[in-house]
Amino acid sequence: MNQESTDFLKNVIAHYDLPGEIISATQCVNGHINGTYHVTLLKTGGKEDNLIVQKINHYVFKDPEKVMHNIKEVDNHVSGRKSDTDCDIISFLNNKEGRNYTEIDGEYWRISRFVEDSVTYDFVENSNVLYSAGYAFGRFQSLLSDLPMEKLYETIPDFHNTRKRLNYFFEMVDLDPMGRAKDLKTEIAFFENHTSLATKLCDMLDAGKIPLRVTHNDTKYNNILMHKDTFKPLCVIDLDTVMPGLAMHDFGDAIRFAANTAVEDETDLSKVGLNLDNYWEFTRGFMSACQGLTENEIDTMALGAITITIELASRFLADHINGDKYFRIHRENHNLDRARCQIKLAQDMIEKYDVMCQMVNESITDREAAPTLDN
């Protein structure tokens, strides 16, 4: 890093009771939202202090103070409930003013401890990692099951409101500002034909048939720090989107990420589909740790995967039609490729839906025999 960046990090750290001199600072490349740095301080006596210093993207998160309020509420609640063997949840250090964030010239910064011996995975087929990820997110839900939702802000309104997401998509089709919709008849027809399926969870929520819960809302398994040797989950991270939501959405988004047989922007659609082995391992972990789900939640858990996949496909395609203004692209038609990949994955999920539901039910039967990760 250049000296200017290092000096700025010094300025951020100066707001905390963290003595020592910066001896290394590296920008982390993972993540698409916040700017993140691994900083090492050398303290008196030669001891090193490893930190994660992060700038909150307030273009995405319009009110960073509400984001940090939610994280503090979650941290306080979980700290009083989890056992010594539970996976940790990321927490942020208080600055000298007692806040878990620092504002400098309109930018919001926060600092956490670096978790030693930890790794994250962007693509994996290791059954231990998949089970561990499912277990960690399921346990996360259980630990927060009695946190009153009125204590939390909705940091991104309607984040997983699939009905509104699809309405926006069809608005973009009608507006067609870049003249691209005329070449997308097959893709548009997919959404027209599956709107009823994709909005079923919205209908059930409106009818009071499924409950809102405190959910993570970004359950990619690279948001869990795993032990580099044992694959045991060490810490759930990236809590910026923690707010009221549906358990099925957390489950579904994880499946969309973990059980796709291809990368998210694969152009060879013959490679895209649902890996049922990966699906089983994650499901087995999640359901073994997620206690207290209602019968309707269990019955629609697999539907959550289809719903989230269709929702994301609509967001990618809407952005393509609108001129690629939201999702960062790295090639021509990148968002179109992403949308087509998600459509193909959703189609395969629909074909395998009965098996997916059966596996959810089998994972509950298997719950008593499942490992707890306590050792």
74-78, 184-188, 256-260, range with greatest mean pLDDT: 184-188
Distances in Å between the Cα of 133 and the Cα atoms of 62, 127, 238, 241, 341 are 29, 10, 14, 18, 23
CB atoms within 10 A of CB 60: 16
Place of tokens 């079923």: 200
Q: How many CA atoms lie within 13 A of 290 on its CB side?
A: 32
Do 279 and 359 touch, CB atoms closer than 8 A?
A: yes
Please tell me the distance from the alpha carbon of residue 332 to that of residue 357, in angstroms, as a whole number.
37
Edge-to-edge order in the sheet of strand 88-89: 88-89, 233-236, 224-227, 118-119
- From 157, 211, 163, select the one nearest 311 (Cα to Cα): 163
Place of tokens 């010094």: 10
The average pLDDT across 100-104 equals 96
Distances in Å between the Cα of 43 and the Cα atoms of 1, 5, 16, 50, 94 are 21, 21, 14, 11, 19
**What's the burial of 138, exposed, middle or buried (CB within 10 Å: 0-12/13-18/19+)?**
buried
Q: Furthest-apart CA pair in the chain: how many Å?
A: 68
Residues 6+ apart with CB under 8 A from 172: 181, 318, 321, 322
Q: How many CA atoms lie within 13 A of 88 on its CB side?
A: 15
Look at 18-22, 125-129, 305-309 and tell me which has the smallest mean pLDDT: 125-129
Is the model's pLDDT at 73 over the cut of 60? yes
Distances in Å between the Cα of 123 and the Cα atoms of 220, 229, 252, 258, 316 are 10, 17, 17, 7, 21
The average pLDDT across 3-23 equals 90
Look at 28-32, 58-62, 152-156 and tell me which has the smallest mean pLDDT: 28-32
Q: How confident is the model at residue 33 (pLDDT cuts 50, 70, 90)?
A: very low
**What's the burial of 38, exposed, middle or buried (CB within 10 Å: 0-12/13-18/19+)?**
middle
| Domains of the chain from N-terminus onward | 3-113 (3.30.200.20), 127-369 (3.90.1200.10)
Please tell me the distance from the alpha carbon of residue 348 to that of residue 259, in angstroms, as a whole number.
11
Is the model's pLDDT at 299 over the cut of 80? yes
Q: How confident is the model at residue 374 (pLDDT cuts 50, 70, 90)?
A: low
Please tell me the distance from the alpha carbon of residue 177 to that of residue 297, in angstroms, as a whole number.
39
Please tell me the distance from the alpha carbon of residue 188 to that of residue 166, in angstroms, as a whole number.
11
Q: What percent of the chain has pLDDT over 90?
A: 79
Q: What is the pTM of this model?
A: 0.89
Give tens-digit pLDDT for 241-260. 999 999 999 999 999 999 99
Cα–Cα–Cα angle for 106, 19, 37, rounded to 5 degrees: 50
Q: For residue 103, list its beta bridge partners.
A: 108
